[in-house]
Amino acid sequence: MRIRALLLLVCVSGPRAIGAQVVPATVARTGVFFESYSFGTGLAFNRLSEMTVPITVTHHFGSRVTVDVGTAFASASVSHTGGATLDHSGFVDTDIRATVAVVPGRLLFNVVGTLPTGATAVPDTTIPLFGATATDLLGFTTPTFGSGGGVSAGFASAFKLGQRWAAGTGASYRYGASYTPVENGTDLVPGGEVRVRVGVEGPFGGGKYFRGAFVYTTTGANDLGNGKRSLIGDRALLYAAMSAPLGRGSLSLYGWEMRRFDVGTTDTLVVPVPRGNVLALGVRYEHALSPKTTLVPLLEVRHELTGTDSTTSLTLLGYLLRTGTDFRYRLSERALLVVQAQVAFGRLHDEDQDVSLVGPRLGAFIEWSR
């Protein structure tokens, strides 16, 4: 029987993991996001806005190799209370990531090359803008605009835990190329960065699914020239998420906490990044309105603490409540449209001043797959 011959044929190829292969060969995404925050009196700024046009392509080469390419065009501006405006527009860096399934379902190796297509050697007057968009509390789509590029490599492994659960470990190292961040300034030589991750996930009672992980990151000193260095303390990130069926949809609860530790030096030639703590808790519900449309309302609370050194306690930097919804519409078998509308309310605390903030996040983008 011919089917037996085919049987022998496929026997030679051995077992294969299905999960990794039930994906389209190519997925491309693009769209536009706009975020803007208005601040009450007390800060140097009264409005901060950013627009991002991301472009990403993911392609699977066979069953073992996946390549992601991602970049974005971003435009940001910040208005000073005095009326002046700082702005910046341009592409950000381009990331090219190759992921190789060394042992399918068990061990991945990945390498990321960051091409310095973004902003470098910017005027020092725009630096406050870049700092503002990097605020964890606000969570901008594009938090940074450029660097000297670099290379990162790492692995992720998975181990079975019982019948249906899995645990995983992973690590990565990043090398950053030197560049001149500020016009007419000195070169910056980034320190290497190591990340280690331990995670666990799996289904449990009644169609629920859990994912949790701990990621620890440590970064070497950045050489600023002239004997100066900038330092950031180690970061510990703990996150967990659970999804469960509810009615005609799926409810997801998630939370993460990231602690940034003190740099541990009082050297006057060191520019330290203050220690801090960011906590986020959220809930999201995916509700199918029809075969083609899905509504995804979301509610998230974010809270950030900061402190100058280990001798003083962490103080409140601010908190933010974000709510809104995604509206997903399947245009065709290959195309998905997502429209996002959110609004955030919160307060920032700075040097004994309590400042309100409010602003929308609007977005629309298309995912195309084949």
Partner 1 sequence: MVDLRYLLLAVGCLGAACAGGRGGAGGGARPTAVAPADVPALRAQAAQHPSDAQIRFRLAAALVAAGRCDTGVVVARAGQTLAPAVAAAPLIIGACQEKDGRPDLAFSTYTDFAAQHPKARGVAAVRGKALLALRAQAEQTARLALARESTLTALPPEASTLAVLPLTIAGDSSFRPLSRGLAELLTTDLALVRSLRLLERVQIGALLDELKLGQTQRADASTAARVGRLLRAERMVQGVARITADGPVNLSASVVRGDGTVRSGAQANGTFRQLLDLEKQLVFGLASQLGILLTEAERQRILQQGPKNLAAFLAYSEGLEALDRGDYQAAARAFGAAAQADPSFQAAQDQQQAAQAAPTVEGGDIASVLQEAQEPPPPPPSAPPITSASEGVLGAGTADLNPTIADQLGATTGGATTEQKTTTQSQGINGLTGVSVTIRIIFKRPTL
Q: Least distance to partner 1 from the beta carbon of 11, Å? A: 4
Helix (H) or strand (E) holding 155: strand 150-161
Contact 279, 302 (CB under 8 A): yes
Q: How far is the CB of 104 from partner 1 (least distance, A)?
A: 7
What are the structure tokens assigned to 117, written together? 């297509």
Cβ contact 298:324 at 8 Å = yes
**Between vectors from CA 246 to CA 243 and to CA 249, what angle results, nearest 5°?**
85
Question: What is the rounded CA–CA span in Å between residue 120 and residue 253?
Answer: 39
Among 199, 324, 346, 359, binds partner 1 (CB under 8 A): 199
Binding partner 1 (rule: CB under 8 A), the pick from 90, 197, 301, 314 is 197
Alpha-carbon span 1 to 170, nearest angstrom: 47
209 lines the binding site for partner 1 (CB under 8 A):
yes
How many residues at the interface with partner 1, by CB under 8 A? 164
Determine if 344 is a binding residue for partner 1 (CB under 8 A): no
Considering only residues 193, 305, 320, 324, which one is a binding residue for partner 1 as defined by CB under 8 A?
193
- Integer Cα distance of 124 and 197 in angstroms: 36
Are 319 and 346 spatial neighbours (Cβ–Cβ below 8 Å)? yes
Residues 74-133 that bind partner 1 (CB under 8 A): 93, 95, 97, 99, 104-108, 110-112, 114, 118, 122, 124, 127-128, 130-132
Task: Compare residues 313 and 352 and give the one whose CB is closer to partner 1.
Answer: 352
45 is an interface residue for partner 1 by CB under 8 A: yes
Rounded least distance, CB 311 to partner 1, Å: 19
* C-alpha radius of gyration, the chain, whole number: 23
What residues form DSSP beta bridges with 162? Answer: none
Between 202 and 311, whose beta carbon lies closer to partner 1? Answer: 202
Measured from the CB of residue 31, what is the shortest distance to partner 1 in angstroms? 8
- Between residue 140 and residue 169, which ones bind partner 1 under the rule CB under 8 A? 140-141, 143-148, 150, 152-154, 156-161, 163-169
Is there binding between residue 317 and partner 1 (CB under 8 A)? yes
Which 254-313 positions form the footprint of partner 1 (CB under 8 A)? Answer: 254, 256, 258, 260, 271, 273-274, 276, 278, 280, 282, 284, 286-288, 290-291, 294, 296, 300, 304, 306
Instruction: Give the CA dihedral 326, 330, 335, 336, nearest 10 degrees.
Output: 10
Burial of 182 (0-12, 13-18, 19+ CB in 10 A): middle
- Comparing CB distances to partner 1, the nearer of 21 and 310 is 21
Q: How far apart are CA 368 and CA 370, in angstroms?
A: 7
Compute the least distance from the CB of residue 227 to partner 1, in Å: 15
- Which of 73, 239, 261, 329 binds partner 1 (CB under 8 A)? It is 239
| DSSP, residue by residue, 182-202 | BTT---BBPPPEEEEEEEEEE
Spatial separation of the C-alpha atoms in residues 34 and 74, rounded to whole Å: 10
According to DSSP, residue 179 is labeled: B
Nearest alpha carbon to residue 355 among 364, 346, 363: 346
Token pair recorded at residue 103: 């042992």
Minimum CB separation of residue 153 from partner 1 in Å reads: 8
Applying CB under 8 A, among 49, 51, 54, 344 the residue interacting with partner 1 is 54
If one asks whether residue 234 binds partner 1 (CB under 8 A), the answer comes out as: no
Asked if 221 is part of the footprint of partner 1 (rule: CB under 8 A), the reply reads no
Residue of 207, 264, 334, 345 that binds partner 1 (CB under 8 A): 207
Residue 359 touching partner 1 (CB under 8 A): no
